[in-house]
């Protein structure tokens, strides 16, 4: 938790209540832009309340926001953080470009490009088979947070975040 305390962790609940934040919504969930996007497109799909089974609805809204933004599913990853830092379950819908000024640290990168990011299909399968998703061991989280900066689009290994960001930008420019 940061020095912002609990206010930071519950910030998503306030964002749900303000319809100006909604990209799209349904009766039970909303899609909002991530306040600190780590890619060109980065959205959060959040349930409006605490309900027992929302996985299917969240995934449908994730697909819908990609369609609304006129993008392609193959250019996105959809999933959950294995070690959530915010209160309220939320599903990330994030483009694979990772071109963003808010992508600043190895921790940011690792949270979407290692086991710290749990793809929707994997989370759903685990819940179906095991009934729960167990948190990663603290040691594993630390190990993943310090992993090499390997490009998510090729085998390039960056020396540091600025090096990785330049490389990712080059990938993005090739697609423009």
Where helices occur in 52-147 by DSSP H, the ranges are 55-68, 106-113, 120-130, 138-145
> What value, to the nearest 5°, has the Cα angle with vertex 24 and ends 79 and 62?
20
Contacts of 154 (CB under 8 A, 6+ apart): 171
The single residue of 41, 42, 90, 92 carrying the catalytic annotation is 90
Q: How many other C-beta atoms lie within 10 A of the C-beta of residue 30?
A: 22
Contacts of 121 (CB under 8 A, 6+ apart): none
CB 2 within 8 A of CB 8: yes
Active site residue 90: yes
Q: Sign of the CA dihedral 51, 60, 10, 112? A: positive
| Residues with a known catalytic role | 90
């Amino acid at each position: 938790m940061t020095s912002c305390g609990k206010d930071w962790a519950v910030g998503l609940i306030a964002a749900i209540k303000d319809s100006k934040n909604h990209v799209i919504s349904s009766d039970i969930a909303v899609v909002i832009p991530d306040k600190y996007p780590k890619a060109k497109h980065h959205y959060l799909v959040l349930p409006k309340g605490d309900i027992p089974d929302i996985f299917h609805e969240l995934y449908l809204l994730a697909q819908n926001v990609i369609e609304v933004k006129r993008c392609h599913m193959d250019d996105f990853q959809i999933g959950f953080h294995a070690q959530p830092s915010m209160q309220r379950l939320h599903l990330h819908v994030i483009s694979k470009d990772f071109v963003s000024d808010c992508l600043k640290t190895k921790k940011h990168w690792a949270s979407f490009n290692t086991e710290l990011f749990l793809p929707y299909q994997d989370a759903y399968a685990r819940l179906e088979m095991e009934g729960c998703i167990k948190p990663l061991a603290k040691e594993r989280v630390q190990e993943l947070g310090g992993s090499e900066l390997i490009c998510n689009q090729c085998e390039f290994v960056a020396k540091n975040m600025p090096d990785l960001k330049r490389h990712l930008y080059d990938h993005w420019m090739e697609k423009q």
